[in-house]
Structure 1
């Protein structure tokens, strides 16, 4: 658009220097038609401040188009100030995105059964502005293997004192449900979907822990967006992990990797950046 406006101004200046034959009783029709074609082109720009004054007036032998340049100067200034990285959020299918990243008990080079969630964070992101509106966060007391391994603490930064005395898995799900009610997420006229970094959180961890504890699987967790798959659809590159996505999008990794709340906030940044480019998100996983 900026290049087009520059061309228009150059043409206006050129025609302003064009003189009409003093001995002719009428203006140079070809020049006037050319100028009018520029005026028509300008009018095609939506919300352009061009007005009827942009049509040049012929006085004597001079073509006066200074008013035309003055009229479009605010438009040129506005265009020059617009950021090349301006947000271009498309209308999404969901009112809210709930970004989630579990942390769970783990051992080095071996599997724990059952593996238990020890951190449950959720970031509420607007589907219109992609801004964070609220956060839910709790550490969770493991019961099958209450003592965290050294490897688990080194990986996640979660210490024993951070989970001791915290809500159990069942209690934390009730707290999440109450928070979602408080945030008006469970109303019929609000649509939302969870966003995870992979399919593990819901397809494996939450499914297995609900089965182990005999708790009904939350109905609102039965579909989700795997941000890796959304990233691949938007960029054509399947990422190795969250740091890889951040690096590709030229975003910083804030906080500690494998901290549930920090990872959720970083995933929300990736979500926003992809959305800023006009990508429309769809569910990628379901149960």
Structure 2
């Protein structure tokens, strides 16, 4: 029986849902659902019964906007009864231990860079904690999926989200309700399973690091005047605001776990403070950046 091309005994397929208002990307997003579905690589099995799924009570905007409630399907009463993020994260650490998931022998799987680089990094900043080592590298399964496609196939993918594009191409059923974190994890686990069945290598292919050279040059804000309403433009701003940026990885090994490729430091040092604060960006904004202000970046 052949083995999958994956160096980890377990993959932890993760998805977050966050607060939003549907009007602006300049919003202090907080995690409101934290879900993980484990995948046993050796047994080639999705461990549905061992899934982690917790709702999280937001503290900056504790009352959901109508847009957010409609988009995620999460009810206000559910969040009112939920724990805050620090408590939920401690539950997650306990879940890892109880299930025998050693951090260095697992890899997070996401459908893009957003969950770890933007959502997790920002959430841990809000609670004044460093980004955990486990969250500093991950498998971007959409990037692996894309490597198996011809350019024309990429252009013809159908769907608004990465998950929709992959399930339609792979002819996989999308499980549950879209934008429910647990349902999305189950769907992503099926996608990951199919990609492994294809014989594609699945390993860490993205990491965070602290000092990209391109951030040494001032940003031209005239190119991103629509950043509050345009997702792609907003990401260009967040790349400056957030201390840690993303780099692609082609040769990951376990000695790289949690370590910045630039400063060679771990999570208790790297990313705790911003080594390249975008003073020029803040000075040139006609209005304060709410995303940055709420996280005390300036």
Same fold (TM over 0.5): yes
Cα separation, 2, equivalents of 1:90 and 1:215? 36
User: How big is each residue's C-alpha offset from its partner over 1:183-240, in whole Å with a ceiling of 9 and x where there is no partner?
Assistant: 111276xx11000111011101110111122022211111101111011123345465
**Which protein has the larger Cα radius of gyration, Structure 1 or Structure 2?**
1
Give 1:254's aligned residue. 175
Cα separation, 2, equivalents of 1:235 and 1:194? 23
Residue pair 1:102, 1:117 contacting (<8 A) in 2 also = yes
User: What is the aligned counterpart of 2:101 among 185, 191, 201?
Assistant: 185
More RCO (CA 8 Å, sep 6+) = 2
> How far apart are residue 88 of structure 1 and its match?
6.0
User: How big is each residue's C-alpha offset from its partner over 1:125-180, in whole Å with a ceiling of 9 and x where there is no partner?
Assistant: 01123312220110000011000011001111111011112111111111000000
Cα separation, 2, equivalents of 1:270 and 1:147? 34
User: What is the aligned counterpart of 1:228 among 142, 154, 161?
Assistant: 142
> What secondary structure is seen at the aligned counterpart in 2 of 1:251?
coil
User: What is the aligned counterpart of 2:124 among 207, 210, 214?
Assistant: 210
Cα separation, 1, equivalents of 2:11 and 2:44? 8
Residue pair 1:89, 1:275 contacting (<8 A) in 2 also = no
* Alignment gaps of 5+ in structure 1: 1-86
Cα separation, 2, equivalents of 1:230 and 1:166? 35
1:155 aligns with 2:76: no
Tell me the TM-score normalised to structure 2 length. Answer: 0.63
Cα separation, 2, equivalents of 1:187 and 1:267? 20
> What secondary structure is seen at the aligned counterpart in 2 of 1:101?
strand
What do you get for the CA RMSD once the two structures are aligned? 1.7
> What secondary structure is seen at the aligned counterpart in 2 of 1:100?
strand
Q: 1:111 to 1:187 in 2, by over 3 A?
A: closer
**Superposed, which structure 2 residues align to 1:34-113 within 5 Å?**
89-111=3-25, 113=27
195-204 or 232-241, which moves further after superposition? 232-241
Cα separation, 1, equivalents of 2:196 and 2:163? 16
179-188 or 139-148, which moves further after superposition? 179-188
Residue pair 1:89, 1:276 contacting (<8 A) in 2 also = no
Cα separation, 2, equivalents of 1:246 and 1:118? 25
Residue pair 1:89, 1:129 contacting (<8 A) in 2 also = no
User: How big is each residue's C-alpha offset from its partner over 1:57-82, in whole Å with a ceiling of 9 and x where there is no partner?
Assistant: xxxxxxxxxxxxxxxxxxxxxxxxxx
Give 2:292's aligned residue. none
User: What is the aligned counterpart of 1:282 among 198, 203, 206?
Assistant: 203
> What secondary structure is seen at the aligned counterpart in 1 of 2:51?
strand
Residue pair 2:21, 2:67 contacting (<8 A) in 1 also = yes
Residue pair 1:89, 1:279 contacting (<8 A) in 2 also = no
Residue pair 2:19, 2:32 contacting (<8 A) in 1 also = yes
Residue pair 2:5, 2:196 contacting (<8 A) in 1 also = no
